[in-house]
């Protein structure tokens, strides 16, 4: 099976006597409340999804990531994974109890470094912009105090309001793939319901590998993104009828979106390698937002690294659409359409307007089962 990024699948989930000792230490330690992104990052570090990270980044790693897209030791890593002190006063060498916003103890940080970093430099390096309208820049503006760095131990898994049974760690997905006999696995990252273009991409990819992992992001997203619970219902309905059950797996990806475009495409690929996937779908404007990134920048960035440095095979797809001439999904590589009048594109805004009015978008855009779930969600005032 494919090796984890950096060569070793990290495990920072405390068990047995070690967990009891850490629980005792946490009672006497100062507490730090994590925001939702930090809770996701804690889980992903601890379960090995962010291998080779063993904790939140120190200043040397952060500076190297911003400037070189690599950790200080040279391993490719595209995005910061940091922990804010929230303005609190903490001393290196002392453990910190990490709690969620409800006060539940989640883990312990072995504090090694307290440091400050220039937010504009971080935003420009990681996101390619300092524009306050960018959601990633907005997040950085909410961060208070210096960063805290050091290894972590997870004591309790965070829980969701849904889909806990579909949360599989990288070790568990690797066991699943082995049990299914899959040697080549393609991962599909999504933060949206799967529409016909997505279905086309995943099925094209499935033609060349043994199995497909639908791996939707269920961490924090923008306020106008469709809620994860609603999306999960859409995925289940779609997979139940339109995909071969023996060749597809569905598991949640408990990560927060950074909306970092090209760098986040690398980030998503490396993490899926840690889950045991050998291939990764990179479509149009992967992890993009607004007009900050070029249409295919998230594909071009892979050319900056050798295949061995990335270790997972990116599958690049162009913009797809319904080809009226062929009566099927196609891309600019496969379509015989003569002009725009032969292609069906629907914008997200137009689709949302149709759903709000109770109208199903055309079957060329989405399957009716998915449309009905989204319509019901809006009718029940679930925010979309």
* 333-348: pLDDT as tens digits: 899 888 888 988 866 6
Nearest to 344 by CA among 319, 364, 327: 364
Cβ atoms of 263 and 301 closer than 8 Å: yes
Q: What is the pLDDT of residue 225?
A: 76
**Taking 60 as the threshold, does the pLDDT of residue 38 lie above it?**
yes
89-124 confidence digits (pLDDT tens): 899 999 999 999 999 999 999 999 999 999 999 999
Question: Rounded to an integer, what distance in angstroms lies between the CA atom of residue 268 and that of residue 42?
Answer: 16
Question: What does the angle CA 65 – CA 71 – CA 74 come to, to the nearest 5 degrees?
Answer: 120
Q: What is the pLDDT of residue 205?
A: 97
Query: The domain 16-154: what is its CATH number?
Result: 3.10.400.10
Active site residue 367: no
Read off the pLDDT band of 219 (50, 70, 90).
confident
Cβ atoms of 25 and 108 closer than 8 Å: yes
Measured from the Cβ of residue 42, the count of other Cβ atoms closer than 10 Å reads: 27
Question: Rounded to an integer, what distance in angstroms lies between the CA atom of residue 151 and that of residue 166?
Answer: 27
Q: What is the pLDDT of residue 250?
A: 96
Q: Which residues neighbour 125 within 8 Å (Cβ) at sequence distance 6 or greater?
A: 65, 66, 67
Active site residue 31: no
**Taking 70 as the threshold, does the pLDDT of residue 383 lie above it?**
no
Mean pLDDT value of segment 353-379: 88
Strand partners, 147: 84, 115
- Residue 31, φ and ψ in degrees, nearest 5: -105, 145
Mean pLDDT value of segment 37-45: 97
Which is catalytic among the residues 37, 167, 174, 191? 191
Give CATH 3.40.50.620 domain extents, the chain: 164-379
Q: What is the pLDDT of residue 347?
A: 67
**Taking 60 as the threshold, does the pLDDT of residue 384 lie above it?**
no
The domain covering 164-379 belongs, at the CATH homologous superfamily level, to HUPs (3.40.50.620)
Cα distances from 347 to residues 185, 285, 351, 352, 354, in angstroms, run 30, 14, 6, 9, 11
Q: What is the pLDDT of residue 54?
A: 98
Which is catalytic among the residues 11, 192, 352, 360? 192
Q: What is the pLDDT of residue 361?
A: 86
Give CATH 3.10.400.10 domain extents, the chain: 16-154
| High-pLDDT (> 70) share of the chain, % | 97
Task: Kindly report the length of the chain.
Answer: 384
- Of 166-175, 179-188, 222-231, the range with the lowest mean pLDDT is 222-231
253-275 confidence digits (pLDDT tens): 999 999 999 999 999 999 999 99
């Amino acid at each position: 099976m494919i090796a984890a990024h950096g060569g070793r699948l990290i495990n920072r989930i405390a068990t047995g006597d070690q967990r009891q000792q850490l629980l005792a230490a946490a009672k006497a330690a100062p507490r730090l409340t994590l925001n939702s992104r930090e809770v996701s990052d804690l889980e992903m570090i601890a379960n090995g999804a962010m291998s080779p990270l063993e904790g939140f980044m120190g200043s040397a790693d952060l500076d190297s990531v911003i400037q070189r897209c690599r950790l200080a030791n040279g391993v490719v890593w595209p995005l910061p994974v940091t922990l804010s002190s929230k303005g609190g006063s903490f001393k290196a060498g002392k453990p910190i109890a990490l709690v969620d916003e409800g006060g539940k103890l989640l883990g312990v940080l072995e504090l090694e470094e307290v440091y400050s970093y220039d937010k504009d430099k971080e935003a420009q390096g990681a996101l390619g912009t300092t524009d306050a309208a960018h959601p990633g820049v907005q997040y950085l503006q909410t961060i208070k105090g210096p960063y805290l760095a050091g290894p972590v131990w997870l004591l309790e898994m965070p829980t969701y309001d849904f889909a806990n049974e579909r949360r599989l760690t990288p070790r568990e997905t690797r066991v699943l793939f082995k049990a299914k006999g899959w040697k080549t696995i393609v991962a599909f990252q999504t933060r949206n319901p799967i529409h016909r273009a997505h279905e086309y991409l995943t099925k094209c990819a499935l033609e060349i590998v043994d199995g497909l992992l639908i791996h939707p992001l269920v961490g924090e997203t923008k306020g106008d993104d469709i809620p994860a619970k609603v999306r999960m219902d859409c995925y289940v309905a779609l997979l139940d009828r339109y995909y071969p059950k023996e060749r597809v797996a569905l598991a949640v990806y408990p990560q927060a979106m950074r909306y970092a475009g090209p760098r986040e495409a690398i980030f998503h690929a490396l993490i899926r390698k840690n889950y045991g996937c050998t291939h990764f779908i990179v479509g149009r404007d992967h992890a993009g937002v607004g007009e900050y990134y070029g249409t295919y920048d998230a594909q071009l960035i892979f050319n900056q690294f050798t295949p061995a440095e990335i270790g997972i095979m990116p599958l690049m797809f162009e913009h797809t659409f319904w080809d009226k001439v062929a009566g099927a999904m196609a891309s600019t590589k496969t379509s015989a359409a003569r002009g725009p009048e032969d292609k069906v594109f629907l914008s997200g805004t137009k689709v949302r307007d149709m759903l709000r009015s109770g109208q199903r978008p055309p079957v060329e855009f989405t399957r009716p089962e998915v449309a009905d779930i989204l319509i019901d969600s809006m009718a029940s005032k679930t925010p979309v």
